[in-house]
Structure 1
Amino acid sequence: MTSANRTAVRVGVCGVLGAGNLGNDGSLEALLGYLRAEHPEAAVDALCSGPEVVTARYGIPATRLHWNRGEYRTASRAGAIAAKGLGKLVDAFRVAAWVRRHDVVIVPGTGVLETTLPLRAWGFPYSMFLLCVAGRLFGTKVALVGVGGDAIGHRPTRALVRWSARLAAYRSYRDAVSRDAVRAMGVDTARDEVYSDLVFSLPTPQAGVPEGPQGPVCVGVMAYYGSNDDRARAEEINRRYLDGMSRFVRALVEDGRPVRLLIGDELDMPAVDAVLDAVDSPLVTASEASSLADLMKETAAADAVVAARYHNLICALKVGTPALAVSYSAKSDALMAQMGLGAYCHPAREVDADRLLEQFRALEQRSAELRRTLTERNQVVARRLEDQFTALTAALFPTTDHTHALREAP
């Protein structure tokens, strides 16, 4: 074994990764790009939901996050419920053992401090709590890097998220809304920084040439059932959302516009099928994108994008395509304001097809101006992410050349 191998920093990456969410996997890809460029000597592996996918796609060893393979299936029988309970106990030991083998553990991006979509306390919030507790016990630096947060109404979930944030050795956020939400939960964020979403650091494909007012439109649809506090009304919310989006797509088709339906998670496919069935037009097709790189190529070729999924919007904005957010949380509104498109947000909870079409037409009228704005804003975002990676190196990979020591979060 060489000296370099003996001293290689052992870096673990943890999250809901390899499970079909393109944004989550894009955050992992962005982090791995940074590690391979700036810390090629680091030995990297993952603790995640889809270890087989992560290993095949990104070439790093990966361990299953949950011992119970039925973790994400609804348990109704006594045996399944017992298996879930046992799994939580087993996971406490498994996570601790995994954390102990590392010098640094990083949770890359994603909304790990929010519940803007339905989320059980004993799912990833519990896993993240175990991760941060183990980090403190074994002296492993746990970093929440470029993460998203929001107000959490469910008390057990809020408690787990609050303690995870407090125990982390490093925290940074993708927007000020997230930092403010974490502060409101009782975490001292005085030394925490706001940068931009990690996905903005991914390579940008060549932007397409706008085809004019009758060019293609990308419309992102999602499995939207409201927030974590809306479980009692989830089906009603979903029906209204799909009805509004179908009416909007039908209006585009009546104007002769080709429409490409995008997703951000495998869970969104039923929503795509519902819109296809409701509109029933050869002008409407479904994208087969399986990565954020694919989504960026789709959005680069479009005249405009209308989407709900946060990382669908990022893909459009990153390639400079004007976008309209069908917003389900404050993070989308904050992103659009940051990129100079704050006027083009529409609530996912109350989709009004006529009003959405009016906003869309106003967006297209300013297309050339907004494309110039996006070019300028992307340059600012790129500089902020360079600052993020510089700060991360100083905090987690200190050398004799660094003057910044890792700060311990209170």
Structure 2
Amino acid sequence: MTRAHRGPVRVGVFGLLGSGNLGNDGSLEALLGYLRADHPQAAVDALCGGPEAVTARFGIPATRLHWYRGEYSTASRVGSVAAKGAGKLVDVFRTAAWVRRHEVVIVPGMGVLEATLPLRPWGFPYALFLLCASGRLFGTRVALVSVGAGPIGSRPTRALVRWSARLAAYRSYRDAPSRGAMRAMGVDTSRDSVYPDLAFALPAPRAEVPSGEEPGSVCVGVMDFHGGDDDRDRAEEIHRRYLDGTTRFVRALVADGRRVRLLTGDDCDAPVADAIVRAADSPLVTVARAESLDDLMAETAAAGTVVATRYHNLVCALKTGTPTLALSYATKSDALMERMGLAAYRHPAREVDADRLLEQFRVLEKEAAELRRVLAERNAAAAREIGRQFTDLTAALFPAARPAATDRHAPTTLRETS
């Protein structure tokens, strides 16, 4: 059931947006580009993790996702535990009231149906369930657009994710394994589609091809990596191995006289980058303080090659057409590298072997010219698929919109990389 409404369509966007994760904010930027091009009369606001940051950067009204401000901090005292518990009840009514004010609510990209990083069921999975249940209750169309999904070991988290997906009015995934994971959880995915990550809708600069005898700089994307939700018992061991292996790799590059630019993708990654700078102790190693995916793409476009861990560091590097090696920590990274034709250039983030990584890196540089050609073709295909995603979304959520709308969108937002 949907509600009749006169006047501009009221569209809400939902997620951990404005909270320091550049990939999440990049997905929001891509969605807003689509809405402003194809549905300029829509009234858009957000329910999100960092409302002040979202309003300041994107110019839309925003409301805090959780009533309790310390939702994602550890609660150890009786008072904070009680406040967090009370917040769960308050959020039922806050979320329902917010959803009821909209005809459409969109969750743009992000790994909202996965647990590749540590996750508690009463955190974001609970919030997503409240959103989708409220949408079904009030007739608001909730859309999960190009989202990530994966196997989930925790039974409570898996149940919340499964019911959220079932209650959504529209679902599409950023890769085939995500759709397969939801099917394995018992969700009917027969009408669900797979499209590229929404970040592929963002304009990107061309990669700068190194010329002459001197090779280009190397961007190394680092991450505060402690494994996934099922790795809590050995999280510190995983982190130490990742940091040690990555640091040894950077030192090997410096020993060869290479300039290294460290990239992050979330506020929590900065200490990792700083630790590597201290350990390398060389002016050849610097840190890029990127504040958006545009900044990350500018960095990767200027590099000769990229070695990266965090998912959206990979997206940015691949979208700019820069030869890239993935320190892969989840199926989503593997699927992305396969989609872009670089499946051979992966290395496990949980077991970084600096010597083996250096060997793979040297092969990557040797094959760089051919890989740039492959990436140009795959980026052109991704741009076409993103156009189909937005056409599909308009048909599902804005049935009264004119079908020619997406034609206006393509030249300004979908810039094919060559």
**Contact between 1:213 and 1:364, CA under 8 Å: does it hold in 2?**
no
Mapping for residues 95-134 of structure 1, pairs under 5 Å? 95-134=95-134
Q: Which amino acid aligns with 2:234?
A: R
Deviation per CA, 1:351-377: give whole Å up to 9, x if none.
000000000000000000000100000
| Partner residue in 1 for 2:412 | none
Mapping for residues 166-185 of structure 1, pairs under 5 Å? 166-185=166-185
**Contact between 2:207 and 2:303, CA under 8 Å: does it hold in 1?**
no
In structure 2, the CA distance between the partners of 1:89 and 1:256, relative to structure 1 (3 Å rule), is same
| Partner residue in 1 for 2:350 | 349
- Residue 208 of structure 1 and its aligned partner are, at CA, apart by 1.9
Tell me if 1:307 matches 2:308: yes
- Matched position secondary structure for 2:63: strand
| Partner residue in 2 for 1:265 | 266
Deviation per CA, 1:287-334: give whole Å up to 9, x if none.
011100000000000000000011001101101000000000010011
Q: Which amino acid aligns with 1:302?
A: A
**Contact between 1:135 and 1:141, CA under 8 Å: does it hold in 2?**
yes
**Contact between 2:10 and 2:43, CA under 8 Å: does it hold in 1?**
yes
Mapping for residues 370-389 of structure 1, pairs under 5 Å? 370-389=371-390
> Within 2, Cα distance between the matches of 1:180 and 1:59?
36
- Residue 346 of structure 1 and its aligned partner are, at CA, apart by 0.4
- Residue 401 of structure 1 and its aligned partner are, at CA, apart by 5.6
| Partner residue in 1 for 2:22 | 22
Q: Which amino acid aligns with 2:254?
A: V
**Contact between 2:27 and 2:110, CA under 8 Å: does it hold in 1?**
yes
- Matched position secondary structure for 1:111: coil
> Within 1, Cα distance between the matches of 2:236 and 2:28?
32
- Residue 207 of structure 1 and its aligned partner are, at CA, apart by 2.8
Deviation per CA, 1:53-112: give whole Å up to 9, x if none.
000000000000000001111110000000000000000100000000000000000100
Tell me if 1:284 matches 2:273: no
> Within 1, Cα distance between the matches of 2:154 and 2:96?
26
**Contact between 1:214 and 1:256, CA under 8 Å: does it hold in 2?**
no
TM-score w.r.t. structure 1 length?
0.96
Between stretches 202-211 and 76-85, larger displacement belongs to: 202-211
**Contact between 2:224 and 2:272, CA under 8 Å: does it hold in 1?**
yes
Tell me if 1:88 matches 2:88: yes
| Partner residue in 1 for 2:413 | none
**Contact between 2:224 and 2:268, CA under 8 Å: does it hold in 1?**
yes
- Residue 400 of structure 1 and its aligned partner are, at CA, apart by 7.5
> Within 1, Cα distance between the matches of 2:376 and 2:209?
15
TM-score w.r.t. structure 2 length?
0.94
> Within 1, Cα distance between the matches of 2:232 and 2:401?
52
> Within 2, Cα distance between the matches of 1:139 and 1:305?
46
| Partner residue in 2 for 1:243 | 244
> Within 1, Cα distance between the matches of 2:329 and 2:90?
35
Deviation per CA, 1:123-181: give whole Å up to 9, x if none.
11100000000000000000000000010001110000000000000000000010000
In structure 2, the CA distance between the partners of 1:273 and 1:401, relative to structure 1 (3 Å rule), is closer
Mapping for residues 106-255 of structure 1, pairs under 5 Å? 106-211=106-211, 214-255=215-256
| Partner residue in 2 for 1:367 | 368
Between stretches 211-220 and 38-47, larger displacement belongs to: 211-220
- Residue 213 of structure 1 and its aligned partner are, at CA, apart by 5.4
> Within 1, Cα distance between the matches of 2:10 and 2:41?
9
- Matched position secondary structure for 2:74: coil
- Matched position secondary structure for 2:145: strand
**Contact between 2:206 and 2:321, CA under 8 Å: does it hold in 1?**
no
Tell me if 1:256 matches 2:264: no
**Contact between 1:322 and 1:371, CA under 8 Å: does it hold in 2?**
yes
> Within 2, Cα distance between the matches of 1:320 and 1:168?
35
| Identity across the alignment (%) | 73
> Within 2, Cα distance between the matches of 1:273 and 1:319?
26
> Within 1, Cα distance between the matches of 2:195 and 2:287?
33
**Contact between 2:394 and 2:401, CA under 8 Å: does it hold in 1?**
no
> Within 1, Cα distance between the matches of 2:246 and 2:166?
40
Q: Which amino acid aligns with 2:56?
A: A
> Within 1, Cα distance between the matches of 2:80 and 2:157?
22
Tell me if 1:394 matches 2:398: no
> Within 2, Cα distance between the matches of 1:160 and 1:247?
41
- Matched position secondary structure for 1:399: coil
> Within 1, Cα distance between the matches of 2:126 and 2:96?
13
Q: Which amino acid aligns with 1:10?
A: R
- Matched position secondary structure for 1:105: strand
> Within 2, Cα distance between the matches of 1:20 and 1:263?
11
- Matched position secondary structure for 2:128: helix
- Residue 214 of structure 1 and its aligned partner are, at CA, apart by 2.6
- Residue 268 of structure 1 and its aligned partner are, at CA, apart by 0.3
**Contact between 2:226 and 2:236, CA under 8 Å: does it hold in 1?**
yes
- Residue 274 of structure 1 and its aligned partner are, at CA, apart by 1.3
- Matched position secondary structure for 2:326: strand
Q: Which amino acid aligns with 1:219?
A: V
- Residue 206 of structure 1 and its aligned partner are, at CA, apart by 3.6
Aligned residues: 398
In structure 2, the CA distance between the partners of 1:345 and 1:400, relative to structure 1 (3 Å rule), is closer
- Residue 209 of structure 1 and its aligned partner are, at CA, apart by 3.1
> Within 2, Cα distance between the matches of 1:213 and 1:145?
43
> Within 2, Cα distance between the matches of 1:236 and 1:270?
17
Any stretches of 5+ residues in structure 2 without a counterpart?
Answer: 404-418
| Partner residue in 2 for 1:64 | 64
Q: Which amino acid aligns with 1:150?
A: G
- Residue 280 of structure 1 and its aligned partner are, at CA, apart by 1.1
> Within 2, Cα distance between the matches of 1:29 and 1:135?
23
| Partner residue in 1 for 2:76 | 76
> Within 2, Cα distance between the matches of 1:306 and 1:338?
17
Over aligned residue pairs, what C-alpha RMSD do you find?
Answer: 1.1
Q: Which consecutive aligned stretches of 4+ in structure 1 deviate over 6 angstroms post-superposition?
A: none
